[in-house]
Amino acid sequence: MRIVRFERQGATAYGRLEGELVFPLVGRPWERALSAGEAVPVGEVRLLAPCEPSKIVAVGRNYRAHAAELGNEVPAWPIIFLKPPTAVIGPDDAIVHPAASKNVHHEAELAVVIGRRCRHVRPEDVPSYVWGYTCGNDVTARDLQRLDEQWTRSKSFDTFCPLGPWIDTELDPADVPVTCRVNGVVRQSGRTRDMVFGVSTLVAFISEVMTLEPGDV
């Protein structure tokens, strides 16, 4: 199932996307939601970020090829950092280039969306806590990242976390392509099988540090 969050005539709602039609939903779609109202053509709505996270927990250097590209060693354990919810924008919104940076980079990511409150979760139990998966862009001011020697400022500007367009609740994350195109030109291409740490390992690791809430990424 593909779940979208959309705006139409000034109102915001969740919906189920089937082909070119959006079926509005009532209730919490990460639990159980019911269809309500008539289907709407997707071209008549504005797609928003498909979830409203209280936090975005990102993982650095988790692709072997990307670590090699940056000249970094593959980490022995997950390197996690936070992006603020104020960085989140929808799939069609503009990324604003901050005046403080002259070197802004895109980083296409598989985004895991949490569906149940979780803490101290075992890796084998993680799938039951995942709502689904969406596309993410970990936008980074690379010059500020190097200057600061830590990542908060370089990755936290408003608009630096595009998400969407939908949440796929049935995706198998083991080996999916992750591709970024800029004006139709492929700038980044990889597969999740190249991850140093897989989804279940990462969610379990993060849940030992902090509580993950429904909608968190």
The answer as to whether 169 is a domain residue is: yes
pLDDT tens-digit readout, 47-87: 999 999 999 999 999 998 776 777 778 899 999 999 999 99
Tabulate helix, strand, coil % of the chain (nearest 5). 20, 40, 40
DSSP state of 10: T
Question: What confidence score (pLDDT) does residue 207 get?
Answer: 99
Do residues 91 and 134 share a domain?
yes
Q: Specify the range with the lowest mean pLDDT, choosing from 4-13, 63-72, 130-139.
A: 63-72
Of the three residues 47, 64, 84, the one that is the final residue of a domain is: 47
Angle CA(97)–CA(103)–CA(109) in degrees, nearest 5? 80
Do residues 113 and 139 share a domain?
yes
In angstroms, the CA 114 to CA 204 distance is 12
This prediction has a pTM of 0.95
**Higher-scoring residue by pLDDT: 134, 75:** 134
In angstroms, the CA 86 to CA 83 distance is 8
Question: What confidence score (pLDDT) does residue 35 get?
Answer: 81
Q: What is the mean pLDDT of residues 117-131?
A: 99
Mean pLDDT for all residues in the chain: 96
pLDDT at 149 over 90: no
CATH code, domain with 91:
3.90.850.10
Do residues 122 and 15 share a domain?
no
Instruction: Label residue 33 exposed, middle or buried (CB < 10 Å: 0-12, 13-18, 19+).
Output: middle
The answer as to whether 217 is a domain residue is: no
pLDDT tens-digit readout, 173-207: 999 999 999 999 999 999 999 999 999 999 999 99
The answer as to whether 87 is a domain residue is: yes
Q: What is the mean pLDDT of residues 35-52?
A: 95
Q: How confident is the model at residue 211 (pLDDT cuts 50, 70, 90)?
A: very high
Domain hosting 108: range is 56-207
In angstroms, the CA 37 to CA 4 distance is 15
Question: What confidence score (pLDDT) does residue 67 get?
Answer: 67
Do residues 98 and 198 share a domain?
yes
Kindly give, in sequence order, each residue whose CB lies less than 8 Å from that of residue 71, ignoring residues fewer than 6 positions away: none
Q: What is the mean pLDDT of residues 121-135?
A: 99
